Amino acid sequence: MQHDKVLILDFGSQYTQLIARRVRELNIYSEIHPFNKIPTDIESYKAVILSGSPNSVRGEDVLHPDLTDIRGKKPMLAVCYGAQYLAHFSGGNVAPSNTREYGRANLSYIKEEETLFSKIGSGSQVWMSHSDTIKTLPEQGVLIASTADVTNAAYKIEGEQTYAIQFHPEVYHSTDGKQLLENFLVNIAGINQDWTPDSFVEETVDAIKEKVGNDKVVLGLSGGVDSTVAAVLLNKAIGKNLYCIFVNNGLLRKNEFENVLTQYEGMGLNVKGVDASQRFLDALAGIEDPEAKRKAIGNAFIEVFDDEAHKLTDVKWLAQGTIYPDVIESVSATGGPSATIKSHHNVGGLPDFMKLKIVEPLRAIFKDEVRRVGNTLGVDPELLGRHPFPGPGLGIRILGDITAEKVRILQEVDAIFINGLKSWGLYDKVWQAGAMLLPVNSVGVMGDERTYEKCVALRAVESTDGMTADWVNLPYEFLQKTSNEIINKVKGVNRVVYDISSKPPATIEWE
Is residue 340 pLDDT above 50, yes or no? no
CB 465 within 8 A of CB 366: yes
- Where in the sequence of the chain do the CATH 3.40.50.880 domains occur? 5-188
The whole-number pLDDT of residue 349 equals: 53
SS3 31: strand
228 is in an annotated binding site: yes
224 is in an annotated binding site: yes
304 is in an annotated binding site: no
pLDDT per residue as tens digits for the range 155-173: 999 999 999 999 999 988 8
The CATH number, out of the four listed (1.10.357.10, 3.30.300.10, 3.40.50.720, 3.40.1280.10), of the domain defined by the range 403-498? 3.30.300.10
pLDDT per residue as tens digits for the range 269-292: 999 999 999 999 999 999 999 999
Is residue 69 pLDDT above 90, yes or no? yes
Does the CA dihedral 190-178-66-143 come out positive or negative? positive
pLDDT per residue as tens digits for the range 95-145: 988 766 678 999 999 999 999 999 999 999 999 987 899 999 999 999 999
Q: pLDDT above 70 covers what percent of the chain?
A: 94
Query: Which residue blocks in 315-473 are alpha helix, DSSP H?
Result: 324-330, 367-376, 381-384, 404-423
- Where in the sequence of the chain do the CATH 3.40.50.620 domains occur? 197-384
Average pLDDT over residues 29-47: 94
Rounded Cα distance, 145 and 180, in Å? 12
The whole-number pLDDT of residue 124 equals: 96
CB 433 within 8 A of CB 419: no
The whole-number pLDDT of residue 413 equals: 98
Is residue 398 pLDDT above 60, yes or no? yes
Angle, CA 44 vertex, CA 38 and CA 47 arms, to 5°: 75
Is residue 341 pLDDT above 50, yes or no? no
Fold of the CATH domain 197-384: Rossmann fold (3.40.50)
Give φ, ψ of 100 to 5 degrees. -65, 120
Give φ, ψ of 361 to 5 degrees. -65, -20
The whole-number pLDDT of residue 328 equals: 80
The whole-number pLDDT of residue 309 equals: 85
- Where in the sequence of the chain do the CATH 3.30.300.10 domains occur? 403-498
Catalytic residue numbers read 80, 168, 170
Is residue 347 pLDDT above 80, yes or no? no
Peptide bond into 504 cis (omega under 30): yes
227 is in an annotated binding site: yes
The whole-number pLDDT of residue 302 equals: 86
Query: b vs e for 418-442, b when ≥16 Cβ sit within 10 Å of the residue's Cβ?
Result: bebbeeeebbeebbbbbbbbbeeee
Is residue 38 pLDDT above 90, yes or no? yes
Listed range (171-175, 252-256, 369-373) with the worst mean pLDDT: 171-175
Q: Which of 347, 322, 359 is nearest to 218 (CA)?
A: 359
Fold of the CATH domain 5-188: Rossmann fold (3.40.50)
Is residue 330 pLDDT above 70, yes or no? no
The whole-number pLDDT of residue 102 equals: 79
pTM score: 0.83
379 is in an annotated binding site: no
